[in-house]
């Protein structure tokens, strides 16, 4: 039996296989499952590492150097996918962008969190395919059917979007976009990479009301269209949303844009895995289980601290 050389791959496979023997509710078909949203607040944290940040050695070692030492086998696999033998072979812009993604998906970045949360949508598409596809499509395989049965996959996309919504609450997106901040373009690039991602932000502008200049605040939801951001909804606020702590207020103004019977709040330094996303239908059924006087309203999930290897390397470097 072939065993993955990568320790993280072993851990994930082992955990997933073991978890299948736990007492979990039976999953309904995708069309019958509860719908849910994921909400991630974001402020000034890293979205994706720039090329300069990947190679910069301000602290003595670069981010890329860190990643190469922590994930040597994954770095080797990356070079193989790119058709290169060393870093010097990554010459064109597409390869450099892939290098940025490779490093960002292994750091504490928003792009890593977004990629992880969007596994929910991919899992729902696969499961809906198994629910709706006929025998010929299943024999052809998921990728083959996607190429040859566009009608079916349009239905899968629509169903996945009905059942899952992902909103990033980024209060400063409007001000950063107007000032030409590169972080705003990084957000737009993320929305283009994952077209079903939505971004909520607060717009502050001055208007003349009764011959007086007043500040007007609005919560705005945008999506990516043709490489740009397009407004979907605009909700006028009674005043500035920043009346308490920053993170809760960042969530509060955007929660109105979420949909469904359940809401998962995820910080921007958290990740998700495709195999765990496959269990979401089962998990949501827990809300329908009668435990005591009433069904549960809050579910707590265990987390895996993916920064453990970074911490251990830092300890070694400081010794």
70 lies in some domain: no
83 lies in some domain: no
The whole model's pTM is what? Answer: 0.90
198 lies in some domain: yes
pLDDT at 264: 96
Q: In what order do the strands lie in the sheet with 212-225?
A: 228-236, 212-225, 197-209, 164-170, 36-42, 262-265
Structurally, the chain folds into a number of domains equal to: 1
| Six-digit token string for 96 | 């450099």
183 lies in some domain: yes
Determine the structural domain holding residue 253 and report its residue range. Answer: 23-49+107-318
> How many other C-beta atoms lie within 10 A of the C-beta of residue 208?
8
Per-residue pLDDT tens, the chain, 319 aa: give them.
688 888 889 999 999 999 999 999 999 999 999 999 999 999 888 999 998 899 887 767 888 988 998 899 999 999 999 998 888 888 788 898 999 999 999 988 999 999 999 999 999 999 999 999 888 888 888 888 888 888 999 999 999 999 999 999 998 898 899 888 889 999 999 999 999 999 999 998 888 877 888 888 999 999 999 989 999 999 998 888 877 677 788 888 999 999 999 999 998 888 999 999 999 999 999 999 887 888 889 998 877 767 666 555 555 555 5
pLDDT at 149: 86
181 lies in some domain: yes
313 lies in some domain: yes
63 lies in some domain: no
> How many other C-beta atoms lie within 10 A of the C-beta of residue 111?
23
pLDDT at 315: 54
18 lies in some domain: no
């Amino acid at each position: 039996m072939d065993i993955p050389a990568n320790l993280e791959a072993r851990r994930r496979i082992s955990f997933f296989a073991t978890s299948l023997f736990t007492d979990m509710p039976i999953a309904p078909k995708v069309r019958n499952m509860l719908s849910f949203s994921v909400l991630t607040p974001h402020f000034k944290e890293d979205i994706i590492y720039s090329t300069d940040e990947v190679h910069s050695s301000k602290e003595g070692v670069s981010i890329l150097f860190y990643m190469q030492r922590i994930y040597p086998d994954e770095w080797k696999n990356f070079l193989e996918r790119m058709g290169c033998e060393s870093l010097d072979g990554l010459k064109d812009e597409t390869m450099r962008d892939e290098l940025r993604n490779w490093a960002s998906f292994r750091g504490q970045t928003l792009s890593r969190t977004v990629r992880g949360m969007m596994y929910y949508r991919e899992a729902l598409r696969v499961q809906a395919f198994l629910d709706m596809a006929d025998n010929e499509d299943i024999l052809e395989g998921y990728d083959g059917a996607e190429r040859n049965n566009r009608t079916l996959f349009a239905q899968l996309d629509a169903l996945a979007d009905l059942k899952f919504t992902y909103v990033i609450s980024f209060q400063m997106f409007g001000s950063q976009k107007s000032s030409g901040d590169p972080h705003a373009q990084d957000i737009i690039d993320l929305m283009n990479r994952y077209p079903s991602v939505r971004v909520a932000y607060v717009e502050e502008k001055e208007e003349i009301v009764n011959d007086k200049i007043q500040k007007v605040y609005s919560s705005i939801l945008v999506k990516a269209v043709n490489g740009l951001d397009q407004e979907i909804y605009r909700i006028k606020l009674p005043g500035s949303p920043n009346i308490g702590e920053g993170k809760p207020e960042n969530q509060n103004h955007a929660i109105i844009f979420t949909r469904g019977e359940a809401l998962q709040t995820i910080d921007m330094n958290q990740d998700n895995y495709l195999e765990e996303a496959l269990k979401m239908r089962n998990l949501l059924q827990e809300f329908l289980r009668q435990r005591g006087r009433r069904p549960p309203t809050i579910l707590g999930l265990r987390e895996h601290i993916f920064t453990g290897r970074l911490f251990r390397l830092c300890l070694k470097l400081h010794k």
